């Protein structure tokens, strides 16, 4: 745990030191759980968006994008169920005055038992070596069985309590598990209460309740209310999808763990409209597509896990998360939900307008079913940053900090470095800058020894450094150095553009 926390701290301070992420309004001591993306952060973020947008829209002829407004008619949120049901169960500790999500306290409690099991298994693995049979060990070892029984019992009670909104039951479970305030150890809890996560604000010209509007807690509803607009104007045929990237706002009870849980964040969501009855087929299709998208980046297949939902949201008939191995453990990165026809039907009901698809083949009109994929852009940013952050010991005994960011996502693609700041080398280097700058985000750097300049580029994840030396003036060749292998090769300037393109092109991921 300590090592994991240290890793997160190291990532946060690296992100700040190199201009990826700053605390918001820092000169006023910051605002809790709000962050600003700096000069490199915005590039990384844009590249992630571009990877997602390309995968969704360009690679699928039947998916188009929109950009809906953040403010929506307030009835939208009545219809979607958010006004009545977008709640988290919260509990306060009377001694520390700290507020927690009751379900998160229980999940952390179960994770501890899970960690105990993993430890037992690791120990046994070391003891038995190749002969070790994990399945048999899990089925017979008394310590593992006891821990697993405990987890299963808590899981079942929590599921029932959440499904039945049994807040007393949740509190009882917390007491029965003897869960204490993680910060102070106190077990003096209040009752569990429901807390609505939507931010409210007021429209300028209207006073009182009539003027209340919400900051959208998800981007999805902007897609649903535009379903017919897009279907008709785009002449879309089922199945088809609408993708959107945009801000969402949730008044999270505890916002923490850096950019993992914020009150203002960005989502990349896609709603895929399908014929009723085909939804499970498409649900499985999208589970597969999405994990492929993640795995293509090469952050390590073992870093992802599917997690089926215990408690289905009010709109879903199947749902899972893709969890990622963040520095604080496996946590939700993306959700994939089969939302049935819940949203479109509700919008029909509340608006009085028909939101139907007319199938020209069968001459029937019906409300389509929906599969949703929804990923937090900020969480994806943290996944990329934390898993690519490496502190390495090199063969010569020196150390370097390197961000092994997938090349196509790297904020700076190329650094152009004249070996010395004289003899016409800077001028030659600037010619190379002009050759590349339209297509690749690059940096020109002529300060300090070349080794230090390489280190600076490693620390921000630049995949390629191009060095211009005296020979370049004669043979029109440069040395390119690769970030991960640190291998160098000499190539003609005429081949440089193509060499860089090959390394940083997005097409490797498709």
* Residue 332 interacting with ligand ATP (CB under 6 A): yes
Segment near ligand ATP (CB under 6 A); pick from 221-229, 332-340, 396-404, 467-475: 332-340
CB of 361 to ligand ATP, least distance (A): 34
Name the CA dihedral angle for 417, 419, 422, 424, rounded to a multiple of 10 degrees.
-70
Q: Which of residues 188-247 bind ligand ATP (CB under 6 A)?
A: 218
- The angle at the Cα of 445, spanning 442 to 450, to the nearest 5 degrees, equals 120
Helix (H) / strand (E) containing 317: none
Site string for ligand ATP, 401-440 (x = CB under 6 A): ----------------------------------------
State how far the alpha carbon of 187 is from the alpha carbons of 94, 150, 174, 455, in Å.
Answer: 9, 20, 9, 49
Site size toward ligand ATP, by CB under 6 A: 16
Strands in 414-418's sheet, in edge-to-edge order, are 442-444, 414-418, 464-468, 477-482, 488-492
Out of 117, 243, 262, 405, point to the residue binding ligand ATP (CB under 6 A): 262
Cβ proximity to ligand ATP: between 112 and 307 the closer is 307
Q: Would you tell me how many other CB atoms lie within 10 Å of the CB of residue 228?
A: 16
Sole binder of ligand ATP in the list 279, 334, 341, 469 (CB under 6 A): 334
Q: Give the CB-nearest residue to ligand ATP.
A: 376
Of 65-73, 257-265, 403-411, 427-435, which segment contacts ligand ATP by CB under 6 A? 257-265
Answer left, alpha or beta for residue 476, where phi above 0 means left and psi between -120 and 50 means alpha: left
H or E, element range at 90:
strand 87-92
Please enumerate in sequence order all residues whose Cβ is within 8 A of that of 300, keeping only pairs 6 or more positions apart, or say none.
Answer: 325, 387
Say how many Å lie between the first and final Cα of the chain, rounded. 36
H-state helical runs in 99-141:
102-128, 134-140
Contact residue for ligand ATP among 299, 316, 375, 415 (CB under 6 A): 375
Task: For residue 265, state whether it binds ligand ATP (rule: CB under 6 A).
Answer: yes
| Least distance (Å) between residue 391 CB and ligand ATP | 27
Q: Closest approach of Cβ 195 to ligand ATP, in Å?
A: 13
* DSSP characters over 411-431: S--EEEEESSS-TTHHHHHHH
Nearest to 268, CA basis, from 380, 177, 355: 380
For residue 257, give the nearest of 304, 188, 326, 317 by alpha carbon: 326
Tell me which stretch binds ligand ATP (CB under 6 A): 69-77, 130-138, 261-269, 440-448. 261-269
By beta-carbon proximity to ligand ATP, the closer residue of 41 and 463 is: 41
User: Is residue 332 within 8 Å of residue 64, measured between CB atoms?
Assistant: no
Q: What is the largest CA-CA distance in the chain?
A: 81
Q: Which of 113, 374, 387, 443 binds ligand ATP (CB under 6 A)?
A: 374
Q: Would you count residue 258 as binding ligand ATP (CB under 6 A)?
A: no
Ramachandran class of 319: left when φ > 0, alpha when ψ lies in -120 to 50, beta otherwise? beta
Task: Rule CB under 6 A: choose which of 181, 279, 343, 378 binds ligand ATP.
Answer: 378
* From 284-292, 346-354, 370-378, 453-461, span contacting ligand ATP (CB under 6 A): 370-378
Among 14, 82, 346, 379, binds ligand ATP (CB under 6 A): 379
Between residues 261 and 456, which has the closer beta carbon with respect to ligand ATP? 261
Q: 300-328 burial, b if ≥16 CB within 10 A, otherwise e?
A: eeebbeeeeeeeeeebbebbbbbbbbbbb
Q: How far is the CB of 393 from ligand ATP (least distance, A)?
A: 34
Please report, for residues 145, 219, 432, the alpha-carbon distance to residue 376 in angstroms, rounded to integers and kept in the order given: 36, 11, 37
Q: To the nearest whole angstrom, how small is the minimum distance from the Cβ of residue 223 to ligand ATP?
A: 13
Report the nearest approach of ligand ATP to the CB of residue 331 (Å). Answer: 7
Compute the distance between CA of residue 30 and CA of residue 94 in angstroms, rounded to an integer: 27
3-state SS assignment for residue 481: strand
Other Cβ atoms less than 10 A from the Cβ of 358: the count is: 11
Which span sits near ligand ATP by CB under 6 A: 35-43, 68-76, 205-213, 375-383? 375-383
Report if residue 376 touches ligand ATP, rule: CB under 6 A. yes
Q: Is 333 in the site for ligand ATP (CB under 6 A)?
A: yes
Q: Judged by CB under 6 A, does residue 457 bind ligand ATP?
A: no
Q: How far apart are CB 65 and ligand ATP at their closest, in Å?
A: 18
Shortest Å, Cβ 222 to ligand ATP: 14
Q: Which stretch binds ligand ATP (CB under 6 A): 327-335, 359-367, 443-451, 459-467?
A: 327-335
Decide if residue 290 touches ligand ATP (CB under 6 A).
Answer: no
Q: Which is closer to ligand ATP, CB of 179 or CB of 248?
A: 248
Q: Is 463 in the site for ligand ATP (CB under 6 A)?
A: no
Closest CA to 165 of 189, 190, 194, 191: 194
**At its nearest, how many Å lie between ligand ATP and the CB of residue 324?**
9
| Alpha helices for 306-376 (secondary structure H) | 342-351
Binding site for ligand ATP (CB under 6 A): 218, 250, 252, 261-262, 265, 267, 332-335, 374-376, 378-379
């Amino acid at each position: 745990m300590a090592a994991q926390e240290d890793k997160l701290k190291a990532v946060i301070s690296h992100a700040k030191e190199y201009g990826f992420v700053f605390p918001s309004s820092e000169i006023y001591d910051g605002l809790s759980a709000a962050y600003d993306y700096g000069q490199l952060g915005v590039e990384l973020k844009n590249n992630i968006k571009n990877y997602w947008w390309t995968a969704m829209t360009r690679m699928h002829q039947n998916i188009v994008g929109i950009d809906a407004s953040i403010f929506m008619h307030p009835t939208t949120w009545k219809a979607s169920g958010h006004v009545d049901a977008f709640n988290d169960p919260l509990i306060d500790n009377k001694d520390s005055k700290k507020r927690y999500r009751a379900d998160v306290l229980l999940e952390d409690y179960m994770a501890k038992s899970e960690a105990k099991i993993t430890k037992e298994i690791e120990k046994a693995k070391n003891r038995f070596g190749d002969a070790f049979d994990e399945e048999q060990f899990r089925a017979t070892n008394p310590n593992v069985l006891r821990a697993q029984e405990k987890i299963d019992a808590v899981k079942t009670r929590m599921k029932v309590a959440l499904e039945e909104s049994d807040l007393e039951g949740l509190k009882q479970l917390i007491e029965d598990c003897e869960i204490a305030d993680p910060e102070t150890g106190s077990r003096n809890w209040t009752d569990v209460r429901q807390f609505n996560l939507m931010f409210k604000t007021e429209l300028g010209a209207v006073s009182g309740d009539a003027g209340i509007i919400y900051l959208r807690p998800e981007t999805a509803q902007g897609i649903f209310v535009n379903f017919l607009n897009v279907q008709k104007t785009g002449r879309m045929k089922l199945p088809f999808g609408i993708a959107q990237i945009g801000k969402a706002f949730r008044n999270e009870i505890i916002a923490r763990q850096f950019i993992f849980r914020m009150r203002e964040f960005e989502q990349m969501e896609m709603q895929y409209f399908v014929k009723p009855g085909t939804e499970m087929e498409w649900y499985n299709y999208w589970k597969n597509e999405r994990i492929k998208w993640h795995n293509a980046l090469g952050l390590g297949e073992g870093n992802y896990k599917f997690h089926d939902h215990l408690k289905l949201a009010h709109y879903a008939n199947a749902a899972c998360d893709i969890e990622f191995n963040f520095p604080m453990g496996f946590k939700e990165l993306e959700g994939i939900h089969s939302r049935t026809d819940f949203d479109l039907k509700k919008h029909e009901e509340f608006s009085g307008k028909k939101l139907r698809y007319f199938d020209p083949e069968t001459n029937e009109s019906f409300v389509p079913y929906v599969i949703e994929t929804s990923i937090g852009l900020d969480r994806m940013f943290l996944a990329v940053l934390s898993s690519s952050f490496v502190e390495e010991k090199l063969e010569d005994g020196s150390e370097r900090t390197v961000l092994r960011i997938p090349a196509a996502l790297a904020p700076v693609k190329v650094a152009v470095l004249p070996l010395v700041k004289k003899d016409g080398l800077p001028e030659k280097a600037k010619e190379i800058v002009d050759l590349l700058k339209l297509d690749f985000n690059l940096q020109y750097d002529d300060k300090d020894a070349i080794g230090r300049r390489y280190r600076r580029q490693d620390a921000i994840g630049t995949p390629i450094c191009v060095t211009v030396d005296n020979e370049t003036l004669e043979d029109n060749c440069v040395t390119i150095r690769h970030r991960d292998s640190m291998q160098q090769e000499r190539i003609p300037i005429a081949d440089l553009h193509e060499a860089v393109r090959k390394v940083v092109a997005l097409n490797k991921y498709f």
